[in-house]
Structure 1
Amino acid sequence: MFPAVTPQLTCPACQAAIPVGSAFCPACGNPSPTVITDGRAAPAPPDPAGTAPVLERLARALSPKYDVKRLVGRGGFAEIYELWDRDLDRRLACKVLHPEIAWTPGMLDRFRREAKALARLQDPAVLPIHFAGAGEGLVYYVMPFVEGESLADALRRRGSFSAEEALQVAEPILEALAHAHAQGLVHRDIKPDNVMLEAKTGRVLLVDFGIAKLLDPAAAVGTKTSTGFTVGTVHYMSPEQALGQANLDGRSDLYALGAMLFQLVTGTPPYDGDSSAEIVGKHLADPVPVASDVNANIPRWLSDVIVKCLSKKPEDRFQTAGAVLAALAAGRTAGSAPLTGAASAERRVQWLAEAVPGSSRPGSWVAGAGAGAGLVAVLVVAGWFARRGGYVGSGVMLVHNALVEPVELLRSGVPVDTIASEGTVRLTLAGGTWAAYRWRLIRPGNPPIGEPLEGPLPEPGRVRGRRVSSITADVAGQRYFAPLVTNTSASDVTLEVNPGTAAAVRCNCLVSRGAVRTHVGYYRLYENSAVAAYNSAHPYTGPHADREGFATRVARPSGALALMF
């Protein structure tokens, strides 16, 4: 979501008034405090000084009919600005590609041609591109403005989806893919970041259709494209795309959708690792994971559909998006028999040999891939297998995050993964050791609010025959709690936790009027813990509402506590 940010009118440091839209207090220079709307904490507005050059250049590049309003977000290859179309009185979004992307001769013309082809897609789940252009050293494209959040943001905020919720996301995307594939268009970068959930309507929208191809159609995994930009996302990349096949078809999108659907219902991608090479190696040769083994609440028929989408060879997958929709419809009504069996190691090795470009076997599905790309991919995978030292014999453990916020997983102090709230990741432990791992809370807001929280990875126990380490709100003998605040009062409020004690913490946040179950971080829990809410016009002074005596109501193991003011 690009959440609406309502600036606090009073600086919590010096009590001076902060003008609407200002990122900093004009009196003392203190950053504008985090503002919380309905959901997770939203950052304060960006520093205008840091964005002014691009904003001004974009305003000059566009015709006078467009007003460039503000920077609303940054992605892996572009910044997003809000525009106002004066002629048609409508909001638009403009993606400005990062300046470090070097445009080769003729590339912009191809970009415009592809954008024109994409503009012909008339599907309610596809966010269209209105036009593309260049000027003032910038390359950009314009599309409708969507008030909402990305599916990636939703996963970070709430963790895994129920089976029904996941299907409500997947089915409109499949309908859009069926339409696009029928016209010979392939998305090439299906992932949660490229799915938007519209706030008012709940509509599911697929964005950046074909942008990966626009940037460079011959990109191979793990390498820079001729534009200088790395295309593709290895967590969702089909084996044929990872090996550099240029002529991808719709079945590659179905693989990526299967990977995304797996993450929706389990909270984690199907394959993960410490490097892109390791993740690619797992896409190429590891057995397809079964979602219902990770989340027992997922019906087996849905797990079977996901497994078939994730088949290594395109011919073993569903052949069309319509076929996936039909399988989902059948499963909804009566369930389905298993669609696939576990692949043997012999079959996986045979498949990898068949997949190598230049294979003498007729009909190899990567025949269109360049020899150089294939050689790079084979070397990457060979190196990965050599380093891996035998997957089957290595220790495997699941790490479950029971907290209401995401956590960062670290090994020897280096971040290696992120686990969503109620998410689970699978660790392959060299030598069976887990002691080198720690976790750290990802605190909401910017600057972060709540208390920092981290600790060693708890010693794993046995759950249904698996080794599971659970991250909870009990850390080193100290319990913590996470207030989920609903504000029914007539004004915005700011919070103080454990007021009047040595453990008092001022949230330096603002919970807007009408906000529901907003996240404000974690705090130490004591028998006499309390939370005070102040009118935001007079933070931490004057009348306030207290909530206390709740220690016995704090949920375990998450530490969640619903509070209403």
Structure 2
Amino acid sequence: MLDKTSVEFHLEEEEIRGKNEKQPFCSLYSCGPLLGSGGFGSVFSGRRLSDGLQVAVKQISSERVHQWARLPGELEPVPMEIALLQLLSEVGGHSGVVRMLDWFRVEGRGFLLVMERPLQCQDLFDFITERGALPERLALRVFRQIVEALRFVHAHGVVHRDIKDENIVVDTRTLNVKIIDFGSGAPLKETPYGEFEGTRVYSPPEWVLSQSYEAVPLTVWSLGVLLFDMVCGDIPFERDQEIVKATPTFTRRISKECQSLIRWCLSYRPEDRPSLEELLSHPWMEGDEEEEEEEHGSLPSPSL
């Protein structure tokens, strides 16, 4: 999880310039308390001065950036995450994908990404930790949204590469979800990848064994781990030996249809895993989620 320890965030106005030398960050936004930090950098609460909109401000140190990209009109490269999020925004965005509102270069320090910040939400890790394993109808509601959002992401040439419970936020009022943190993302390609910056326990056997994987089978394997996590309350594999065995042991009573879908996603051979479209047409995915809100009841609304 995110490290919630305090981190200082002081930037002089003249230090920060955005794309195409627009107004400095401090003229457009105010920055508040730290929300969390980790390998990706630090995230702070923030506010857009023009209208008071609540935002999240992600600070990335240049030393932590492993992939860079070129943007039109920019003399210097930017982190791949900025390029990917800008691409998804330019094609209209998706309700299930966090939107980047702005970004700034911090001279000598790194970058600031201004992200939309859904209110009254928490990440799926905390959601499951507080409530335990999710009822299948609720898991279906969440999982279907994630898969649909990933179809949009892939359709526009982006692969996330770090799908996990910590990178999904849930609006506790509406149960709508968003995929966040594209820091491990890359342009989608059909040929294998030889680098991986995601989370080891969500990585597939082919990466553990040969340090190579393809975009869709990686994504679908991670989705299988995530669905198991939702309905059982914890991930199926902790060690490399368990990953390469690719045989999840169900710790709770789960419907045969749900077990079938998880096992399909966690097929040992990448070519045996479904596509995202095949996943959506699985019998469990076509189930009914309408009764879930009544069963789930009123949810508390913790702040981010």
| Cα deviation 1:63-110 (Å, max 9, x = unaligned) | 411111222222332211122112243111111124652678868435
CA distance in 2, matches of 1:110, 1:314: 29
Decide which of 99, 117, 133 is 2:87's aligned counterpart: 117
CA distance in 1, matches of 2:78, 2:285: 44
Whether the 8 Å contact between 1:79 and 1:98 is mirrored in structure 2 is no
CA distance in 1, matches of 2:155, 2:235: 28
Whether 1:289 and 2:248 are equivalent positions in the alignment is yes
Residues of 1 paired with 2:37 and 2:127: CA distance? 17
1:77 alignment counterpart = 40
Alignment of structure 1 residues 268-307 onto 2, 5 Å? 268-272=234-238, 279-284=239-244, 286-291=245-250, 294-296=251-253, 298-307=254-263
Quote the Cα distance in structure 1 between the aligned partners of 2:284 and 2:260: 13
How far apart, in 2, do the equivalents of 1:92 and 1:214 lie?
24
> How far apart in 2 are the matches of 1:214 and 1:322?
21
> What SS class does the counterpart of residue 175 from structure 2 fall into?
coil
Q: C-alpha distance in 1, partners of 2:284/2:66?
A: 45
Counterpart of 1:327? 282
Q: What is the rounded CA distance, in whole Å, between the counterparts of 2:202 and 2:13 in structure 1? A: 33
Higher relative contact order (Cα pairs below 8 Å, separated by 6+ residues): 2
**RMSD after superposition:** 3.2
Provide the TM-score with structure 2 as the length reference: 0.76
| Alignment-derived partner of residue 308 in structure 1 | 264
- TM-superposed CA distance for 1:150, in Å, is 0.3
**TM score, norm. by length of structure 1:** 0.43
Question: Where does 1:382-401 land on structure 2 (aligned, <5 Å)?
Answer: none
Structure with greater helix share of residues: 2
AA paired with 2:248? P
Distance 1:199 1:58, change over 3 A: farther
- 2:56 maps to which of 79, 85, 93: 93
Contact 1:72 1:82 in 2 (8 A): yes
Mapped pair 1:267 → 2:226: no
Verify: 1:187 aligned to 2:137, yes or no. no
CA contact (8 A) 1:155 1:264 kept: yes
* Structure-2 change in CA distance of 1:90 and 1:67 (3 Å): same
- Cα distance in 1 for residues equivalent to 2:11 and 2:211: 39
In the alignment, the residues of structure 1 paired with residue 259 and residue 137 of structure 2 have an alpha-carbon distance, to the nearest angstrom, of 13
Q: Distance in 2 between matches of 1:59 and 1:82?
A: 21
Q: Secondary structure of the residue that 1:269 maps to in structure 2?
A: coil
Structure 1 unpaired stretches of 5+: 3-42, 222-230, 273-278, 334-514, 519-565
* Other structure's SS at 2:42 match: strand
AA in 2 matched with 1:289: P
Q: What per-residue deviation string (whole Å, max 9, x for no partner) do you get for residues 213-252 of structure 1?
A: 359x96646xxxxxxxxx2111111234444326x32231
Structure 2: state its 5+ residue gaps: 17-24, 71-76, 289-298
In the alignment, which residue of structure 2 is the partner of 1:132?
A: 103
Distance 1:303 1:240, change over 3 A: same
Matched, 1:253 2:219: yes
d(CA) in 1 for partners of 2:265, 2:51: 42
Distance 1:102 1:164, change over 3 A: closer
Change in 2 beyond 3 A, CA 1:239/1:287: closer
Q: Is the 8 A contact 1:261 1:306 kept in 2?
A: yes
Q: Distance in 1 between matches of 2:66 and 2:165?
A: 27
The residue type paired with residue 114 of structure 2 is V
**Pairs aligned (count):** 267
CA distance in 2, matches of 1:266, 1:95: 32
Counterpart-to-counterpart distance in 2, 1:55 and 1:252: 39
Aligned to 2:73: none
CA distance in 2, matches of 1:188, 1:103: 14
Pairwise CA distance, 1:169: 1.1
> Larger radius of gyration, structure 1 or 2?
1
2: CA distance, partners of 1:290 / 1:181: 30
SS of equivalent residue, structure 2 residue 100: coil
- What letter is aligned with 1:133? F
- SS of the aligned residue for 1:56 comes to coil
Q: Deviations over 1:186-208 (max 9, x none)?
A: 11110000000113322111112
Structure 2 distance, partners of 1:330, 1:154, is: 21
Alignment partner of 1:68: what SS? strand
- Does residue 244 (structure 1) correspond to residue 207 (structure 2)? The answer is no
Map 1:314-393; keep pairs closer than 5 Å: 314-319=270-275, 321-329=276-284, 332=287
Distance (Å, rounded) in 2 between the aligned partners of 1:106 and 1:331: 39
Q: State the identity %.
A: 24
Note the 1:91-240 alignment, pairs <5 A: 91-98=54-61, 100-101=63-64, 108-109=77-78, 111=80, 112-119=82-89, 120=91, 122-136=93-107, 137-147=109-119, 148-209=121-182, 211-213=183-185, 220=195, 231-240=197-206
Indicate conservation of the 8 Å contact 1:129/1:142, yes or no. yes
Deviation of 1:266 (Å): 1.1
Give, in angstroms, the shift of residue 155 of structure 1: 1.9
Instruction: Please state whether the residue corresponding to 2:157 is helix, strand or coil.
Output: coil
Distance in 2 separating the partners of 1:282 and 1:234: 12
